[in-house]
Amino acid sequence: MRRLLFSGGVAVAALLLVPSCEVENCPPNALSYACFNLKDANGRNVSFTSAVSVIGETEAGGKDTIVNKQANAQSFSLPLSYADQTRFILVYPDQTTDTITVTHRNIPHFMNIDCGSMMFHEVRAVQTTRHLIDSIVITNPHIDNNEKENFQIYFPAVAD
């Protein structure tokens, strides 16, 4: 009996010391967002005091839901489509709009079986209308789950 208790105790201790195969090392942020910073012609951060809406547009030209709506924002982060092109419509407080079209390559990134996969993106080109936007620059073409600037949107300088 004593031998059975000792063997059972050793077995339990061994199970507690062996790491589980179900340990998840998933990143806390498994989504990839493109980060856009708003700048004036002199490179200073700018923001709109009233809310600016960002609407996603589908490939068929249909309008998707509002992706982002913020006031006093100096930047915004948006997810890209799994298609090879993503289009965003910025709606300003006076209802003027600009359209940003991002052409990108999608890169599936497999973490492990427990976490599944993520979609990273490599930006190939960006175009914009020029109603209020002066220009847009790709600062980092690699979009992954690390928050970093990918684009700078330039607006005309306003006199101080």
Residue 52 located in a structural domain: yes
Look up the domain containing 94 and give its range: 28-155
* 11 within domain boundaries: no
* 127 is a domain residue: yes
Q: Is residue 104 part of a domain?
A: yes
Q: 8 in a domain, yes or no?
A: no
Q: Is 110 helix (H, G, I), strand (E, B) or coil?
A: strand
Beta pairing, strands 33-40 & 151-155: parallel
Give the Cα-Cα-Cα angle 137, 56, 121 (nearest 5 degrees): 55
Is residue 60 one of the residues assigned to a domain?
yes
Q: What is the CATH number of the domain that holds 116?
A: 2.60.40
Given this model, what pLDDT does residue 60 score? 61
Show pLDDT as tens, one digit a residue, over the chain (160 residues): 555 445 555 454 544 444 444 546 776 677 899 999 999 999 999 988 888 889 888 666 666 666 677 788 899 999 998 899 999 999 998 999 999 999 999 999 887 777 778 899 999 999 999 999 999 999 999 999 888 999 999 999 764 4
Q: For 90, list phi and psi in degrees, rounded to 5.
A: -95, 125
Q: Is 160 within a domain? A: no
* Number of domains, the chain: 1
- Cα distance between the two ends of the chain: 89
What per-residue confidence (pLDDT) applies to 63?
A: 64
Instruction: Answer yes or no: is 108 within a domain.
Output: yes
